[in-house]
Amino acid sequence: MTTEATSGILSSDRREDREQIIELLTKAYWMEIETVMSYITNSINPDGVRAQEIIESLKADVQEELGHAVAFGNRIKELYGVVPGSLDFAAEQSYLQPPEEQTDIVHVIKGVIAAESGAIEHYNKIIEFTEGRDPVTQDMVIAILRDEEQHRRLFEGFLREYKAEGLA
Amino acid sequence: MTTEATSGILSSDRREDREQIIELLTKAYWMEIETVMSYITNSINPDGVRAQEIIESLKADVQEELGHAVAFGNRIKELYGVVPGSLDFAAEQSYLQPPEEQTDIVHVIKGVIAAESGAIEHYNKIIEFTEGRDPVTQDMVIAILRDEEQHRRLFEGFLREYKAEGLA
Amino acid sequence: MTTEATSGILSSDRREDREQIIELLTKAYWMEIETVMSYITNSINPDGVRAQEIIESLKADVQEELGHAVAFGNRIKELYGVVPGSLDFAAEQSYLQPPEEQTDIVHVIKGVIAAESGAIEHYNKIIEFTEGRDPVTQDMVIAILRDEEQHRRLFEGFLREYKAEGLA
Amino acid sequence: MTTEATSGILSSDRREDREQIIELLTKAYWMEIETVMSYITNSINPDGVRAQEIIESLKADVQEELGHAVAFGNRIKELYGVVPGSLDFAAEQSYLQPPEEQTDIVHVIKGVIAAESGAIEHYNKIIEFTEGRDPVTQDMVIAILRDEEQHRRLFEGFLREYKAEGLA
Amino acid sequence: MTTEATSGILSSDRREDREQIIELLTKAYWMEIETVMSYITNSINPDGVRAQEIIESLKADVQEELGHAVAFGNRIKELYGVVPGSLDFAAEQSYLQPPEEQTDIVHVIKGVIAAESGAIEHYNKIIEFTEGRDPVTQDMVIAILRDEEQHRRLFEGFLREYKAEGLA
Amino acid sequence: MTTEATSGILSSDRREDREQIIELLTKAYWMEIETVMSYITNSINPDGVRAQEIIESLKADVQEELGHAVAFGNRIKELYGVVPGSLDFAAEQSYLQPPEEQTDIVHVIKGVIAAESGAIEHYNKIIEFTEGRDPVTQDMVIAILRDEEQHRRLFEGFLREYKAEGLA
Amino acid sequence: MTTEATSGILSSDRREDREQIIELLTKAYWMEIETVMSYITNSINPDGVRAQEIIESLKADVQEELGHAVAFGNRIKELYGVVPGSLDFAAEQSYLQPPEEQTDIVHVIKGVIAAESGAIEHYNKIIEFTEGRDPVTQDMVIAILRDEEQHRRLFEGFLREYKAEGLA
Amino acid sequence: MTTEATSGILSSDRREDREQIIELLTKAYWMEIETVMSYITNSINPDGVRAQEIIESLKADVQEELGHAVAFGNRIKELYGVVPGSLDFAAEQSYLQPPEEQTDIVHVIKGVIAAESGAIEHYNKIIEFTEGRDPVTQDMVIAILRDEEQHRRLFEGFLREYKAEGLA
Amino acid sequence: MTTEATSGILSSDRREDREQIIELLTKAYWMEIETVMSYITNSINPDGVRAQEIIESLKADVQEELGHAVAFGNRIKELYGVVPGSLDFAAEQSYLQPPEEQTDIVHVIKGVIAAESGAIEHYNKIIEFTEGRDPVTQDMVIAILRDEEQHRRLFEGFLREYKAEGLA
Amino acid sequence: MTTEATSGILSSDRREDREQIIELLTKAYWMEIETVMSYITNSINPDGVRAQEIIESLKADVQEELGHAVAFGNRIKELYGVVPGSLDFAAEQSYLQPPEEQTDIVHVIKGVIAAESGAIEHYNKIIEFTEGRDPVTQDMVIAILRDEEQHRRLFEGFLREYKAEGLA
Amino acid sequence: MTTEATSGILSSDRREDREQIIELLTKAYWMEIETVMSYITNSINPDGVRAQEIIESLKADVQEELGHAVAFGNRIKELYGVVPGSLDFAAEQSYLQPPEEQTDIVHVIKGVIAAESGAIEHYNKIIEFTEGRDPVTQDMVIAILRDEEQHRRLFEGFLREYKAEGLA
Amino acid sequence: MTTEATSGILSSDRREDREQIIELLTKAYWMEIETVMSYITNSINPDGVRAQEIIESLKADVQEELGHAVAFGNRIKELYGVVPGSLDFAAEQSYLQPPEEQTDIVHVIKGVIAAESGAIEHYNKIIEFTEGRDPVTQDMVIAILRDEEQHRRLFEGFLREYKAEGLA
């Protein structure tokens, strides 16, 4: 009775590949966790009628990004890795900190676009690396990539409007 | 604070690829819109007990195909394209016009198979072109392709039955 | 055993009336189908925070207008008519094509009002014609008329706001 | 404190009109009750694959027709009438009795069309009589009329198919 | 390949038993159908606050008794019988006709108890006859018997109250 | 691009008609608002077992009458009118004030009948006036009229019972 | 068998306290009722894209405020008081009447803040008075207070935005 | 790594307070358990139309009181106590035993009021004792107190009606 | 108009049988009520990870056993008996009292098995006695018996595991 | 503390009976498992419009038959038996293998009837054997028997139709 | 009117590829079917508290694996293959037969891991083969692969625990 | 028109109080955010059957704790504070980092207890401070405190079990 897979990414001779993928996924995991934090902050702070649209959008996104984080965490586990603890967290999204003025929506919009751009770039890297190596991870990341692309596209539209009005 | 992705299909140096994909998606968009029209027509006109099975199948499909159209439209938007207006529409599905006799179900069955065959062919082309270029679009089109393959397979079975009975 | 109604719009001596009603309903059917197309287009293309309100409104309306189209189609069938095929479609809503600039929301708003105005006028005509002739069709069209009146009223309010701000 | 309406069909000087409407509604009530019986019978007895479509259609209709009967009964009550008891029932749908052979679907289809034709004729009479007299009853009957028209149209289509195959 | 059961009530040598059971079930079927009629009537006609409790109870029972009728009909079909048509119906529930005065609730309560008593007696007969002969029918009828016993018990309580108040 | 309807009640040359309809609808709006208030009061105050039936009925009605008010308000808006503010409110339902004794249910029942009678009369007036002028408003009011007729009929039955017992 | 509580706010020697609380609750009850009226009015009248946000917010609030009113009413009843009738109503929210111009959203926003401020002040008074006297009322009012604080906070944000744009 | 709370009711130096609270909660627990028993009994036994209102009310209350019992049990556990076993149970609600005559509803109503009065008194004691000592328990008991107050108020209304009719 | 059943367990000459069945059902009723108490206790007290499985199982069972008790009570009522009051309760499940140590799960498991064994034995007795006498009661008890058999089987498995580990 | 039932099928002196029942149930278990397999196969393979009815019917049946298998397995466990492993499986339904031609529906229909006939015969045997021995198993099997009888009756009707058309 | 796809895996010149894929899918189909059987068996047989976690996990998995089997079957059909009948089944999962002792959970855990490992290996083979040949099949198998990887990972964790405790 | 509350915590002369409360709430906010992170980590990493219970518990808790964080954030906003950004985050839960060995459940249990103890202590502090100052905040924190107390009590039970087994 064999209990070891002898082909695919989970076979014992593919350890090195797995470790590289785990490293990439761990970075992705932290990006999503920080995004959760930033989106909570920015879905509570802003003032104003027009801000409501942003607030609703970010609130819904908190659950979505949390789901991404959990997905990354689960995949790390499946690849025999360990999900890191809170002491390993290091904040990077300087562009999503609360602005001086809570009615400065443009600051928030630009911050979201920056966050999504970073994610898109990193996920493209994972897709490239897993090509032919780990189709399950690749498939999962493509689906997440789409969410991020859609989200950025939406906020680019917001920014364009403010630019058209000379406010950004 | 960068707000531009520097890798992947959305990066600025991939504009040409994007344009070709948009053209392919636009054609797909119109195919689905026309299919919506044709399936409404053919889910109302036919008479008879046996026709009910076809009618039910096409009615459910109206929503599915509309969903495909919207998916193509959304992807066009994400790739910085513009979804076309109704003046650009040109009907092509001569084979799905209402038949002389509303009990002529074979006409409808053949028309559906023809429509699905056209879609399958075109979607295979998109899958091929996006390979290694745009995994998100490819993934989306593969999922849609499966729907069309299943639907055609079902109607081929219908046709086979009528043939067996010497009616087609 | 009689299987023919001898009174009401479905009785055999009311054929001419039925044909005129079918013609009116067929025109209504095509108006709704084109509106479906136009609303999909205009619920995907626009950019900006304020556009979200329009987008949401039109998205919800796609299903509503599709429902109207199907209702018209079903009534045509009940009156012994035939729902036309896609080759008969001729686009007319020049005012709902995508604008030059995707942030030009006023263009969309005006287009929607124009579309609804056309529908309202045509449906009033049907209501008038069916008075005392076909209460079932009349009842159905009154209900649809209300939807269109409400929708136009909403967009008139949107337009008034933009006018007040000197943008329309 | 007045507790009497002084205008509309419920005012005391409109008693005669009310009585005629109640008579018409009582007949409609019994038609629906018998249809419930007949549809139960004919949704259980028939044999065969093709019969399933008929059976499903009639099963769903049992609830719909029961709903009509209750609607007629309620309106009788609102107009100060009394819903009759089972001793007043007299069967009339000779055409919907179980056929000799349980695979004789054409018998069932013709019976349903006959029943619906009778209902349509009677309901047109009610609509005519209530015109300008009792808009609430008229509105209710128009809605029920539509259900019956749709149902007959469906079974006419079934019949047409069997005719086309030389079986009816 | 045998397609005949050789034991149990459906085997070919048990025809006589089946016929007797079908006769018993047919009577049960008509009892339930008449009860449906009577309960509709008596759930619309009565006036008064206290009548509401009765009305609610009977309204809910219409669906339950209809379910019983359909269950009897289905079992008749399974035993190779034929569900009868509306011409075979003969009203028997003289005690459930509308009373002189619509506030005469005691009349309704007594009528319901009489109807349930008749059903209970007949169903006990079926249970007895099917013992050891047809466990499936027996099981089904025991379940229905319970519903009727509960319903009668409830109305006996109602009657007792009116008696206590010297009204019955 | 026309954005004006040229036929129907919304066309510019029908202003006077619209104004009269708005006046009628405004009165209806206030009637419903006061009914909401009165029904809240009378669904909390009464004591006793039998009162529960009344309380449940009025509680459910609060939502229904609120819906009517909103419907009237929306139609006022669609006809280019303005829904009035709370300063315009003037109470009229003297007959629905809390009685001396909270167990005096007859007072409540009579009050409800009086309120519904007033509404029925007014709505008949609207139906008459809108005939041939504004089918959408007419259709809406007919549906509301039915609700009020049913409600009054129910409370008339309650009253009759109390009368039969010599309590009213 | 004692049927009287001998401690707590419901005991017979606490009558005076109860009466003062009832007076406070009655005022709160009327405030909520008027707010319901004002929010219906202001959720129908305004025009424009941006107004939709306000409209949605107020529409949802109608149900919430109605719930508050009913809660106040129920508590009055529990404390052996009587909920007042519509003749006792006196409008006070002059600041929430419809503005001259239906696109004047700032008027609505200021009106809502004024209404909420009044409520917050009054509810703080109730919380203070019931401290140590009636924990159940206190708990209920704290929960309602929170709703009003949140609502005012939201509209303050709206106002701040309009101020930032120089429109308020 | 400390795993002990050093402030609040759960800290180790607050043991005595906890024990007194546990004793109070245990008594409350048994009161609710007996009420569950009594309400099951009294929601099955009574006969009559008017009894239905009481039966429905008590049936719904069985679940509510069971929920209270579980809440008390859980809080005992959280305070490091032990929920007692069935041998500790001692019946006290002599006033809620089945009456001689099952139509004697007044007996049931008085019994319920007595049971609720006992509970209200005891819960007021707990609220007083936990003031400033254990806000979590206090908050929980205030919520339960409200349920009991509402329930008693309802049955007081029932009693008043029977008194008004000279039956209690 | 007969209102008495003349056959079956409810007929007047079967009084003695009914009384014996009521006695058996009353004992069953008390067994279930005590089990409800015992399962609440034992679903709150135990500590530990493994205990969670037991706790979940017993929590779900509280509702199930309560349902059994109500079923027994209802059947007592239907057979013209009276459900007893709380003063008649006498605890017997000494084996389900809280153990010395809250981590002593084996004590709980053995207690549950003992309780279920008692129930199974008693219910077999009822099934035997009702055979041929009262099929409705028998049917109901068989269904309940199955629940108890399944539950005991589950806890026997739990016990076996602890035995295997030398802990029981 | 006894933990052993001393009466009923689970008592220790009834071991032999239990073993025979387990043997019968094990055979039933395998019959259902094979039916699951066969129905999956035959709900995917067939082609044609008319086949859809069969396919739908078998698809729904896969879940039902799986439920039966699990029920048999659970009862085996409750009777202290062991559910067998896949190595014990031996296919027997030669008549439900895929036909030569996928449009040969008659082959499928006959196969289903044969499978159901075998099941009906075997289940009658179990019902007979458990009579007076194990009412719980008997009750469960009667319920399952009914499902199989209904299913066979349905397919007999299908076959009759094909015979009537000279196709079977 | 062409009704044949000329590109993609369904085109006529790709027959050989299709046949190889069908063979791979057929093996996968049987693996899943056997797993369904094995998981039913192993979700009923085991005894003990800790076994519940395994049982729950396998029970939920029965539906999941059945879904996989149906997915494989459907794809076989779409590729113009035939789903095999039960006579073709040959058991292979010797490691998932019921163990000697029903508390031997380690046996079950190891069996599940072995089954999942076999599946993972086979599905990797399919993914490899379909690369660039049949993206739809590949996509479907990647999704199923993920399910199996997750399931194996979970049971590896279970095994590790038992090993840590020296039980495996 | 006043738009400022003049009493309660939101009045302008209570600024200092507000600031202290905001500071306390900000600390609470960060505690909950870190707990979210730690619970995600510890609901994915652990291996083993027994760990499943912990994992399920923590998974459910992630949503609960996130809800607490959002509640704290919203209250900060209502008090005119600003929710901090991710750069302000500083990890403190050293005791909830992933252990050396993923089967070391005791490490996780102790970590959870430590985290909850910290929270309980801090929340008691807030409740004390807000007493008489800000009843809304106090009420909210009492509710959250209960959640934490319950959660700690559960994990204390887990720990006790492991201690009893000599594993902690």
Q: What is the dihedral of CA E98, E100, E102, E105, to 10 degrees?
A: -80
Judged against a pLDDT cut of 70, whether residue G5 lies above it is answered with no
Closest chain I residue to J2, measured at CA = I114
Closest chain I C-alpha to J13 CA, distance in angstroms: 14
Query: Do residues G8 and H122 lie in contact, with contact meaning Cβ atoms separated by under 8 Å?
Result: no
Closest C-alpha among D57, D65, J105, C15 to residue B48: D57
How many residues would you count in chain F?
168
Question: pLDDT tens digit string along G42-73?
Answer: 999 999 888 999 999 999 999 999 999 999 99
Question: pLDDT tens digit string along A131-146?
Answer: 999 999 999 999 999 9
The predicted structure's pLDDT at residue B3? 59
The predicted structure's pLDDT at residue B122? 97
ipTM over 0.90: yes
**Averaged confidence pLDDT in chain C:** 93
> And the tokens for H45?
């036994």
Question: pLDDT tens digit string along A13-60?
Answer: 899 999 999 999 999 999 999 999 999 999 999 998 889 999 999 999
Helix axes A105-130, A15-44, angle to 10 degrees: 170
The predicted structure's pLDDT at residue L165? 78
Query: Do residues I40 and H30 lie in contact, with contact meaning Cβ atoms separated by under 8 Å?
Result: no
Judged against a pLDDT cut of 90, whether residue D128 lies above it is answered with yes
The answer to whether the Cβ–Cβ distance between F44 and G89 falls below 8 Å is no
Please state the rounded mean pLDDT for residues E51-66.
94
Please report residues of I whose CB lies closer than 8 A to that of K101.
164
Distances (CA, A) of J147 to B19, E6, E78, I15, J93: 59, 18, 11, 37, 19
The predicted structure's pLDDT at residue I3? 58
Encode chain F (168 residues) as per-residue pLDDT tens digits. 555 666 789 998 899 999 999 999 999 999 999 999 999 999 999 998 889 999 999 999 999 999 999 999 999 999 999 999 999 999 999 999 999 989 899 999 999 999 999 999 999 999 999 999 999 999 999 999 999 999 999 999 999 988 988 877
Closest chain K C-alpha to I23 CA, distance in angstroms: 37
Whole-number percent of chain D with pLDDT over 90: 83
Query: Do residues G65 and G32 lie in contact, with contact meaning Cβ atoms separated by under 8 Å?
Result: yes
Please report residues of D whose CB lies closer than 8 A to that of B51.
157, 161
pTM: predicted TM-score of the whole model, two decimal places: 0.92
- Taking the C-alpha atoms of residue J119 and residue J111, their distance in angstroms, rounded to an integer, is 13
Question: pLDDT tens digit string along C46-79?
Answer: 998 889 999 999 999 999 999 999 999 999 999 9
Chain C residues with CB under 8 Å of a chain A CB are 46-53, 102-103
The predicted structure's pLDDT at residue G2? 56
Question: pLDDT tens digit string along L62-89?
Answer: 999 999 999 999 999 999 999 999 999 9
Please report residues of F whose CB lies closer than 8 A to that of D4.
117
* Phi-psi sector, K7: left (phi>0), alpha (psi -120 to 50), beta: beta
Please report residues of G whose CB lies closer than 8 A to that of H153.
77-78
The predicted structure's pLDDT at residue K5? 62
DSSP state of L73: H
CA atoms within 13 A of residue B81's CA, in its CB half-sphere: 24
CA F45 to centroid of chain Cα atoms = 21
The predicted structure's pLDDT at residue F134? 96
Query: Do residues D122 and D21 lie in contact, with contact meaning Cβ atoms separated by under 8 Å?
Result: no
Closest C-alpha among K132, A123, K142, A147 to residue B131: K132
Closest chain D residue to F155, measured at CA = D3
The answer to whether the Cβ–Cβ distance between L50 and K54 falls below 8 Å is no
Phi, psi of H7 (to 5 degrees): -140, 170
CA atoms within 13 A of residue H131's CA, in its CB half-sphere: 12
Judged against a pLDDT cut of 70, whether residue J72 lies above it is answered with yes
Please report residues of A whose CB lies closer than 8 A to that of C51.
157, 161
The predicted structure's pLDDT at residue J48? 87
Residue E58 pLDDT level (bands cut at 50, 70, 90):
very high
The predicted structure's pLDDT at residue B2? 57
Q: What is the dihedral of CA L95, L100, L105, L111, to 10 degrees?
A: 0
DSSP state of E2: -
Question: pLDDT tens digit string along A84-125?
Answer: 999 999 999 999 999 998 989 999 999 999 999 999 999 999
The predicted structure's pLDDT at residue J3? 57
Question: pLDDT tens digit string along B58-84?
Answer: 999 999 999 999 999 999 999 999 999
Amino acid at L97: Q
Closest chain I C-alpha to H1 CA, distance in angstroms: 21
Q: What is the dihedral of CA A59, A60, A64, A66, to 10 degrees?
A: 30
Chain A residues with CB under 8 Å of a chain K CB are 1-8, 10, 74, 77-78, 135-136, 139-140
CA G142 to centroid of chain Cα atoms = 12
The answer to whether the Cβ–Cβ distance between G49 and C156 falls below 8 Å is no
Question: Testing the interface with F: which of H161, H165, H167 to mutate, by most F Cβ within 10 A?
Answer: H161
Q: Name all chains with 3 or more CB-CB pairs below 8 Å to chain B.
A: A, C, D, J, K
Point out the residues of chain K with pLDDT beneath 50. Answer: 1
DSSP state of F103: T
Please report the number of interchain residue pairs, chain I to chain L, with beta-carbon separation below 8 angstroms.
31
The answer to whether the Cβ–Cβ distance between F40 and G69 falls below 8 Å is yes
> And the tokens for H35?
């009420």
Question: Testing the interface with K: which of I49, I50, I53 to mutate, by most K Cβ within 10 A?
Answer: I53
Mean pLDDT by 10 residues, chain H (168 residues): 70 93 98 97 93 93 97 97 97 94 93 96 97 96 96 95 83
Closest C-alpha among E3, E45, E16 to residue E129: E16
Helix axes H135-164, H15-44, angle to 10 degrees: 30
Please state the rounded mean pLDDT for residues J149-164.
93
What is the maximum span of chain L, computed from C-alpha positions, in angstroms?
Answer: 70
Please state the rounded mean pLDDT for residues C122-134.
96
**Averaged confidence pLDDT in chain A:** 94
How many residues would you count in chain C?
168
The answer to whether the Cβ–Cβ distance between H86 and I41 falls below 8 Å is yes
Question: Testing the interface with G: which of C158, C162, C163, C167 to mutate, by most G Cβ within 10 A?
Answer: C158
Please state whether at least 3 CB pairs lie below 8 Å between chains F and B. no
Please state the rounded mean pLDDT for residues C143-158.
96
Print burial letters for H13-48: b (CB count within 10 Å at least 16), e (below 16). ebeeebeebbebbbebbbbbbbbbbbbbbbbbbbbb
**Which of D94, D121, D146 lies at the smallest CB-CB distance from C136?**
D146
Closest chain H residue to G78, measured at CA = H153
Question: Testing the interface with K: which of A1, A3, A131 to mutate, by most K Cβ within 10 A?
Answer: A3
Please report residues of G whose CB lies closer than 8 A to that of A53.
53
Q: Name all chains with 3 or more CB-CB pairs below 8 Å to chain G.
A: A, C, F, H, L
